[in-house]
Structure 1
Amino acid sequence: MATVSERIGLDPERLWGLGVAAILVALVGGSLAFPRVVYDGFIWKYFWGPVQADANSAVCATRATGVTEYLGSSSACAAAAQPVAFPGYTLVSEVGYMVTLVIALTGVVFLLRRLDIGERPRFFYALIPFMFFGGAFRVVEDANDAPGMVDALITYPWNTLVISPVIYVTVFAITLVAVVGSVFAERSGVIDDYVKPLFGAGIAILAVTLGYLLFIGITGAQGATFYPQVLVVILVGATAVAAVTWVLLERFAPEVNAGTGLIGLVIIWGHAVDGVANVVGLDWMTALGAGNNLIPKHPVNKAVVDFTASTLPESILAITGDAWPFLLVKLVAATAVVWVFDEQIFEDSPRYAILLLIAVLAVGLGPGTRDMLRATFGV
């Protein structure tokens, strides 16, 4: 069966470019022609409005008058006329971001093909520091957006660059510069292998970010406090859970990780970090002497917590907490993804397989790092 590009006589790269252009024309054109419906009621309400509200430490934001206003109380938000946007994600925005991710990954595949890189696991491992950096960088903003903070390192509108989901674009741009720069250095004969400086660049920016967080945590700047016990519990817990999961797979279902090998273990560990960080952050901060428990910001997290709280009796919840099913969901989902990537996929399209696995790890390890460090530094 002929592909779409073959039937219309365009190569895949041009077809992708035309598709992206068409989407942009529809969104921009619709915003200009019907600003109240397309921009205010869709783009702003579900995508940009939540970022603005978060960046300004508001309970919500509204554009009822066509101008963005920030409200500081739940009662005012409930009484405000639509459209109203709250910090965080909605189901609509998460679907939109997933579609955007698929489109972006396709474009990255074309770029990697042009650069002739990304077919080997070493590319996957070289990008892991950038995933940690993305989560840590988000915590920098968390430490700077408290109400009344006068010595913020990053202020509005620049802080929108480190708020989800814009931070994904920011981290992607930084990573892209590092990848292209490393490849260029190798092709120019400056270095022998682009992977080493790429990995080094990720380690360097991660070290700077963690150094800043450690500084404010130890000195108490930006209202931060350093809780090392939280960091230890999350890392040890995630490592133990991932190890047990991996051993069970190796023993009873070795076909699950036959295609990915150690990459599969890294992915399960990355999502275990996200799961354990949520369990500790939402239920066990007080027990660890690390301040108040956190509040779930993602619809999936909140749905799992709400379901558990409404299903199990109070006597059990007092012992187990209500966030632990989220860890199970993360482990099952990560294992299922690892299972999908069998040996045939790597033989047919190794570059696309590696890139998808990078994305799978990033959507677990990035938010997991943010939740882990946010709890660790009390912000």
Structure 2
Amino acid sequence: MFPETSTERAWTAAVVVIVVGLVGGSLLFPDLVYGSFIWQYFWGPVYADAFNAACAAWNGGSPQLYASSSACEAAGGPTAYPGYTLVSEVGYALTLIFSLVGVVFLLRRLELGEKISFIYPLIPFMLFGGALRVVEDAMDAVPEGVEPAIQYPWNTLLISPLIYFTVFFITVGALLLSVWAHRRGLTETLEWPLAGLGTALLVGSLGYLVFLSVSTTYVYFHPIFTVLTMGGAFAIAIGLWIPIRRRLPWMASGTPLLGGVILWAHSVDGVSNVLALDWGQELGLPNDLVPKHPVNRGIIDIAESVLPESVASVIGTAWPFLLVKIVAALVVIALFDEEMFEEDPRFTVLLLIAVIAVGLGPGTRDMLRATFGI
């Protein structure tokens, strides 16, 4: 029975302590623990985003939505804005790492996840996560007087960070179904049915967005963004990874093929940002899109403050984010050597899955937001 080992028991105890601490603190000090921390940085942004508001004020436990930035600035007490903050991103990163340990225990029980080949059938689920988030973005684009297909509170399941849990549980369900089918002798491997389920979910999400683009006036179709993003990402990955494998074999020792996939995934994120943020209007959008994450927003702010306006107007200010993504991906790739796989293959594989997902998920969302003009 779970927990079985001392490590599993320690992890379970830590989960219980954290949950009890947050719940207990919220009950004893609702304004301080829940209002000023949990609500302001985690649930409040989701709540404001669900109603497409500029912000939401804690208001002593009776949240108040505001439609303008000036009203948000005048609101008293903890105020939450849609999107991420540095506090929330750190919290999500720690939650991700902690959750990966629990997934290792699950895979250990299922005797899965020791080989890199386990990663590839999960890539469609990462693309599906980005596409599903754009489905919710499309609900925000619904004009006044038109009822969105997905409304509160169900739309919160498609808003960051809850969408990560939604996609996670869908993926786990697909994995368990694939394991069951394989062990019953219905399929020769579990990878093909797993990849098939993820692809079906991805196609369904994309199909719904295409349907909206031809049946509504608030969703459009600009395939040039997808073509250029995927083309650019593949060009970067192939153009860098082939010479790296030849001239710096130590960097590719642990991930000879997967390193190129990691580089491609993060290039998707970088290229999609460059195209949507700097060249959106030139490629057919009414306006350039705005960054959704504090990291790329901060990098762009630095570029705008350093580059002369005459230069920035020609080359843009989002390209430094692409360079940062490429360099970060190469640094991470170099860390995954053969020794890591020998010491703990399952945890190493899960870390690699997370590395790909944090590039491909947001990148797919940015790419599809531009593709469908949302």
TM-score, length of structure 1 as denominator length? 0.95
Q: How does 1:156-235 map to 2 (within 5 A)?
A: 156-219=152-215, 221=216, 223-235=218-230
Match of 2:332 among 337, 340, 344: 337
2:85 & 2:277 partners in 1: Cα distance? Answer: 19
2:55 & 2:186 partners in 1: Cα distance? Answer: 51
- Equivalent position of 2:125 in the other structure: 130
- Equivalent position of 1:154 in the other structure: 150
Match of 1:87 among 79, 82, 86: 82
What amino acid sits opposite 2:256 in the alignment?
G
2:173 & 2:286 partners in 1: Cα distance? Answer: 39
1:107 & 1:82 partners in 2: Cα distance? Answer: 36
Q: How does 1:201-350 map to 2 (within 5 A)?
A: 201-219=197-215, 221=216, 223-350=218-345
- Equivalent position of 2:103 in the other structure: 108
1:109 & 1:199 partners in 2: Cα distance? Answer: 20
- Equivalent position of 2:138 in the other structure: 143
- Equivalent position of 2:18 in the other structure: 23
Query: What secondary structure, in the 3-state scheme, does the structure 1 residue paired with 2:65 have?
Result: strand
What amino acid sits opposite 2:287 in the alignment?
N
For residue 256 of structure 1, report the CA deviation from its aligned partner.
0.8
1:237 & 1:190 partners in 2: Cα distance? Answer: 39
Q: How does 1:5-44 map to 2 (within 5 A)?
A: 11-44=6-39
Structure 1, 364-373 or 289-298: larger mean CA deviation: 289-298
Query: What secondary structure, in the 3-state scheme, does the structure 1 residue paired with 2:339 have?
Result: helix
Query: What secondary structure, in the 3-state scheme, does the structure 2 residue paired with 1:155 have?
Result: coil
1:71 & 1:222 partners in 2: Cα distance? Answer: 26
Residues 31, 60 of structure 2: 8 Å contact kept: no
Once the two structures are superposed, residues 261-281 of structure 1 have per-residue CA deviations (whole angstroms, 9 ceiling, x without a partner) of 111100100000000000111
For residue 75 of structure 1, report the CA deviation from its aligned partner.
0.6
What amino acid sits opposite 2:245 in the alignment?
E
Residues 180 and 149 of structure 1, relative CA distance in 2, 3 Å threshold? farther
2:131 & 2:217 partners in 1: Cα distance? Answer: 15
- Equivalent position of 1:6 in the other structure: none
Residues 1:361 and 2:351 are matched in the alignment? no
For residue 367 of structure 1, report the CA deviation from its aligned partner.
0.4
Query: What secondary structure, in the 3-state scheme, does the structure 2 residue paired with 1:164 have?
Result: coil
Q: Extract unaligned runs of 5+ from structure 1.
A: 1-8
Residues 1:47 and 2:59 are matched in the alignment? no
For residue 289 of structure 1, report the CA deviation from its aligned partner.
1.9
What amino acid sits opposite 1:181 in the alignment?
L
1:287 & 1:139 partners in 2: Cα distance? Answer: 22
For residue 222 of structure 1, report the CA deviation from its aligned partner.
6.1
Once the two structures are superposed, residues 352-373 of structure 1 have per-residue CA deviations (whole angstroms, 9 ceiling, x without a partner) of 1111100100010000000000
For residue 10 of structure 1, report the CA deviation from its aligned partner.
6.2
For residue 258 of structure 1, report the CA deviation from its aligned partner.
1.5
Residues 144, 222 of structure 1: 8 Å contact kept: no
2:21 & 2:73 partners in 1: Cα distance? Answer: 32
For residue 319 of structure 1, report the CA deviation from its aligned partner.
1.2
Residues 23 and 292 of structure 1, relative CA distance in 2, 3 Å threshold? same
Q: Extract unaligned runs of 5+ from structure 2.
A: none
Residues 230, 290 of structure 1: 8 Å contact kept: no
Once the two structures are superposed, residues 117-151 of structure 1 have per-residue CA deviations (whole angstroms, 9 ceiling, x without a partner) of 11112210010000000000000000011352623
For residue 184 of structure 1, report the CA deviation from its aligned partner.
1.8
2:334 & 2:194 partners in 1: Cα distance? Answer: 29
2:315 & 2:159 partners in 1: Cα distance? Answer: 31
Q: CA RMSD in A?
A: 1.3
TM-score, length of structure 2 as denominator length? 0.96
For residue 171 of structure 1, report the CA deviation from its aligned partner.
0.1
Query: Would you say how many aligned residue pairs link Structure 1 and Structure 2?
Result: 370
For residue 228 of structure 1, report the CA deviation from its aligned partner.
1.2
Residues 1:63 and 2:58 are matched in the alignment? yes
2:46 & 2:193 partners in 1: Cα distance? Answer: 33
Residues 149, 222 of structure 1: 8 Å contact kept: no
For residue 254 of structure 1, report the CA deviation from its aligned partner.
2.1
Residues 132, 365 of structure 1: 8 Å contact kept: yes
Residues 156, 162 of structure 2: 8 Å contact kept: yes
Structure 1, 128-137 or 241-250: larger mean CA deviation: 241-250
1:54 & 1:123 partners in 2: Cα distance? Answer: 35
Once the two structures are superposed, residues 86-113 of structure 1 have per-residue CA deviations (whole angstroms, 9 ceiling, x without a partner) of 0000000000001100110000000000
Residues 245, 256 of structure 2: 8 Å contact kept: no
2:179 & 2:245 partners in 1: Cα distance? Answer: 36
1:64 & 1:208 partners in 2: Cα distance? Answer: 40
